[in-house]
A and B are shown apart, each in its own frame.
Chain A
Amino acid sequence: MTDGWMPDKDAKLAQLLRADLPPARDPLFRLDVLARRERQRFRRQLLVALTFGAVSDLRNLVSPLFGRVSQAIARSFVD
């Protein structure tokens, strides 16, 4: 990586650039990632639950209506 013409400056540059690296070990960052993953998982589960609930509500709402309509059709045939 060095050009060979200014090894001291190259070394100094590398040292300066590496001076403000984030910590090599950062448990807090790992916890942040894991918390984010759990939030994402929770949101996904919530979405699935809400979708099932909405579908179920819709079915409960619509099925009596279908029942009445089909009874009316059947009665019209009988009459």
Chain B
Amino acid sequence: MADDDVALIADIRNGSERAFNVLIDRHQQAVRDFLRRLLADASEADDLAQETFMVAWTRPGTYRGDASVRSWLCAIAWRKARGAQRAWFRRRAREGTWAADVAPMVSPPSPESVLVGRALAALPIEQRAAVVLCLIHDFSHTEAAAILGAPLGTVKSHVARGKARLLAALGSQA
């Protein structure tokens, strides 16, 4: 899959529509889920996911080949999410209104999911991002550190603390 992805990027550089379609199909779930768990608004998250793939189409040369293509896409998505979050804080400060706190977009199917979803949404964004990448999308700590542009130790600590809080939320239900 990884070599295949690199070949896709090479084809996209040559303007291949087919390769771009395959890239979207292959990675949309991870990119959209990552963004949906970082942002309060599902449609905004999907909007940024579309922009992420637009970057893959317009600037495939920014993929240097030192990480997986999925890591590269998630790193683009992370930068976009941080930008959107800063804009959201500015907007909130300007308007003086406090919107509902960050919450998962898709209505969860069970009370336990609600609890875990709330606990995840309550984590600081860096911690949440590390948890989502490592516990949901199976990135290694090293990969997550590269995506988030954070030191490895910080990411390990984010994942450990985040996971402890999620388990505590789950435990409080039991």
Our pick among B32, B54, B113, B166 for the contact of A19 (Cβ within 8 Å) is B113
Per the bound structure, the CA–CA distance linking A40 and B28 in Å amounts to 20
Per the bound structure, the CA–CA distance linking A36 and B116 in Å amounts to 34
Interface membership of A6, Cβ < 8 A: yes
The residue in chain B whose Cβ has the minimal distance to the Cβ of A22 is: B32
Question: Is B50's CB under 8 angstroms from A33's CB?
Answer: yes
Question: Is B167's CB under 8 angstroms from A6's CB?
Answer: yes
Q: Number of contacting residues on A, CB 8 A?
A: 26
Identify whether the interface residues of A are mostly helix, strand, loop, or mixed.
helix
Which of B88-96, B101-109, B147-155 interfaces with chain A?
Answer: B101-109
Q: Number of contacting residues on B, CB 8 A?
A: 34
Nearest first, the 10 closest Cβ-Cβ pairs linking A and B are: A20-B106, A22-B32, A16-B116, A30-B24, A33-B53, A33-B50, A17-B136, A21-B33, A16-B113, A36-B50
A-side residues, CB < 8 A to B, are: 1, 6, 9-10, 12-14, 16-26, 29-30, 32-34, 36-37, 40
B-side residues, CB < 8 A to A, are: 21, 24-25, 28-29, 32-33, 36, 46, 49-50, 53-54, 57, 104, 106-110, 112-113, 116-117, 120, 134-136, 138, 163, 166-167, 170-171
